């Protein structure tokens, strides 16, 4: 008899293999893979900040979805691409090639088992572009499965009403938003320091250029911050963190709900499955 806990779990690794075998072949089977990092987050936040956010937000989001929907979480990938934080002890980073290979190798196995959609649910800003590249490579190798690379903070409505515009634009790492969210989710992991750092460069960027944005550069934390913070965490509090938590959960619950009742993305076109040679018989 199947354990009742495995029936209720939204974690793929909590299922028994016969149950996984049937569920993964559902016409709308969807797996969500949370991605974080193991990197410094200033003197006040834990190294696992991004991984913790991805896993806990995703867990709460999946709890809001109907039990019958075929959607599960993979175990979190807690070490990512973090070379920009080298020089701060505790930071560990995989190479870009290794992380792409990891996504492709795991993804190909999931596609072989019948999974229809794989969402890369990423909470580390430093690997957004890399996971988009990995998703494209995987989609080329496993055309039977759609791959959706997402970033936790992208497109979330209402952030501009919660975070001052300057901090929303320049508070890139361990600033007001991340410190507040951690105070709401795991206050026991937050230290007493509240740095404001990394916002004033010895060489200010020329007009139109910035750390991130329309015309960015590949910045390293050690070049611009003594504490490891890039932003202003001085006004961080749990109340703001709870409002951010609600906004994130509402946003992703809505997106996953609309995805799960749809047949999107469309199946792969035969031209890209078979390659260019099919165009010239």
Cα–Cα dist 15/12, whole Å: 6
> pLDDT by residue for the chain (281 residues), tens digit each?
344 444 578 999 999 999 999 999 999 999 999 999 999 999 999 999 999 999 999 999 999 999 999 999 999 999 999 999 999 999 999 999 999 999 999 999 999 999 999 999 999 999 999 999 999 999 999 999 999 999 999 999 999 999 999 999 999 999 999 999 999 999 999 999 999 999 988 888 999 999 999 999 999 999 999 999 999 999 999 999 999 999 999 999 999 999 999 999 998 998 888 655 443 44
Cβ-count burial 115-138 (b if 16+ within 10 Å, e if not): bbbbbbbbbbbbbbebbbbbbebb
Which H or E run contains 183?
Answer: helix 176-185
Cα–Cα dist 67/250, whole Å: 18
Q: To which residue do tokens 């611009």 refer?
A: 224
The predicted model scores a pTM of: 0.94
Q: To which residue do tokens 């020329």 refer?
A: 206
Q: To which residue do tokens 């951010």 refer?
A: 244
Cα–Cα dist 45/30, whole Å: 32
Write out the two tokens for 191.
């230290």
What's residue 273's pLDDT? 81
Name the packing angle between helices 176-185 and 238-260 (round to 10°). 90
* C-alpha torsion 89→81→74→154, nearest 10: 110
Sign of CA dihedral 219, 78, 119, 157: negative
What's residue 9's pLDDT? 85
DSSP string, 116-150: -EEEEEE--GGGHHHHHHHHHHHHHH-TTSEEEEE
Cβ-proximal residues to 94 (8 Å cutoff; 6+ apart), any chain:
79, 80, 81, 102
Cα–Cα dist 81/92, whole Å: 8
Report the DSSP beta bridge partners of residue 30. 71, 117
What's residue 274's pLDDT? 67
Helices (H) and strands (E) in the chain, counts: 11, 6
* 3-state helix, strand and coil shares in percent for the chain, rounded to the nearest 5: 45, 10, 45
Write out the two tokens for 125.
């800003």
């Amino acid at each position: 008899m199947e354990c009742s806990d495995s029936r209720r779990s939204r974690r793929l690794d909590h299922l028994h293999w016969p149950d996984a075998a049937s569920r993964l072949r559902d016409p709308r089977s969807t797996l969500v893979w949370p991605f974080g990092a193991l990197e410094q987050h200033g003197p006040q936040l834990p190294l696992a900040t991004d991984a913790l956010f991805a896993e806990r937000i995703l867990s709460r989001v999946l709890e809001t979805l109907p039990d019958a929907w075929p959607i599960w979480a993979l175990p979190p990938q807690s070490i990512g691409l973090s070379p920009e934080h080298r020089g701060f002890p505790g930071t560990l980073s995989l190479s870009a090639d290794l992380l792409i290979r990891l996504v492709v190798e795991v993804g190909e196995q999931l596609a072989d088992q019948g999974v229809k959609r794989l969402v890369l649910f990423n909470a580390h800003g430093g690997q957004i572009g890399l996971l988009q590249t990995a998703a494209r490579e995987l989609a080329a190798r496993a055309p039977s499965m759609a791959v959706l690379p997402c970033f936790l903070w992208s497109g979330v409505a209402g952030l501009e009403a919660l975070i001052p515009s300057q901090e929303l634009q320049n508070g890139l790492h361990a600033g007001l938003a991340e410190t507040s969210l951690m105070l709401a989710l795991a206050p026991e992991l937050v230290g007493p320091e509240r740095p404001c750092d990394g916002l004033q460069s010895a060489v200010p960027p020329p007009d139109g250029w910035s750390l991130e944005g329309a015309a960015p550069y590949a910045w390293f934390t050690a070049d611009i911050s003594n504490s490891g913070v890039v932003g202003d965490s001085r006004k961080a509090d749990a109340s703001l963190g709870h409002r951010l938590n609600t906004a994130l959960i509402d946003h992703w619950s809505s997106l996953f709900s609309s995805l799960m009742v749809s047949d999107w993305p469309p199946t792969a076109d035969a031209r890209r499955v078979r390659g260019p040679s099919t165009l010239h018989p």
